[in-house]
Amino acid sequence: MQFSVYQESHIGGRKVNQDRMGYSFTRDALLLVLADGMGGHLRGEVAATVALRTISTLFQQQAQPYVKKPQRFLEEAFHAAHRDIHQYRADHQLPEAPRTTIVACLVQHNTATWAHCGDSRLYWMRDGQILARTRDHSHVESLIAKGLAQPSERATHPDRNKLFNCLGADTPPKVEVAAAAGVLPGDLLLLCSDGLWSVLPDDELARRMQAQTVVRAVPDILQAALKAAGGASDNVTALAIMWQGSSVADDMGPITATVISTESMPEDLHSTTIRDTRDTGDTRDAAAAPSEADAFDDDAIEKAIAEIRGAIEKSTHLLK
């Protein structure tokens, strides 16, 4: 297994960086995870940290050296992270559980499987084109899917920030898991927080990612997003890989320092960048089709939005 990888996060104009990202890998499997702690809630960065730690730990337990059932693993790992966030609330006697959006991708045997809750996104790109991306669990995306709003309204619609799915809410998350996708050498997988995609159009993301190696492209898109948002920038985070195949025999040209090759790794060895960190600053590494059956009906969406916004109001009052 061979891939180029780079990750970076900036605090932007916020007081705390609530984004978390990281990757873990074995000889035959690669896990990518990115979480965006929800800023209106107490300790959103803790929810993001707990989620990454839980999912990474389960990966290390089950990837021997690959995960047998990727889709089930991602769904169960998200639910385990949700439970661990609530356990943190109970242990620390918080009035509300901290919350986070999440996106994760498991790549093994030249196949990528991903899952998400909320509006942290994954993009799958090839030759400068977006083959797929996750659909945000937001009110505006629900309206667009029903033909009640235009795709051009994503960045300006008054309901664009209303989410109805996350980890840490009072009700269990509905994990949206994508069908397995066959990845080819040269394909790009980009995971990012809304601080990036909300200010850079999809076509610009694809163009910038295709123009350079991931070690240059990720800092480039983050700086472009920070510049576009100015002083009001949200936390901006991205984690990207260029897949280079399941074998080092794939002809991808000369290997650079950013390429990780796992061919010589023992089967029982795991490597990870995911740690239990509370860092609050900048960190860096040295359009999916709607599902056939939407898991949310209109009443469920409205109820979830109201519950999340009510929790935000309670947290805001407690912070005053």
Q: Tens digits of per-residue pLDDT, 7-37?
A: 999 999 999 999 999 999 999 999 999 999 9
As beta bridge partners, residue 20 has 35
Specify the number of domains making up the chain. 1
Q: Judge residue 232's burial from the number of C-beta atoms within 10 Å of its C-beta, 0-12 exposed, 13-18 middle, 19 or more buried.
A: exposed
Task: Supply the pTM of this predicted model.
Answer: 0.85
Q: Specify whether the backbone of 175 is left (phi greater than 0), alpha (psi in -120 to 50) or beta.
A: beta
pLDDT at 313: 55
pLDDT under 70: residue ranges of the chain: 40-42, 247-258, 276-280, 286-320
Please tell me the distance from the alpha carbon of residue 150 to that of residue 24, in angstroms, as a whole number. Answer: 38
The CATH number given to whatever domain includes residue 80 is 3.60.40.10
Summarised one tens digit per residue, pLDDT across range 64-96 is 999 999 999 999 999 999 999 999 999 999 999
pLDDT at 7: 96
Please tell me the distance from the alpha carbon of residue 304 to that of residue 169, in angstroms, as a whole number. Answer: 9
Give the domain range for residue 284: 2-319
pLDDT at 292: 33
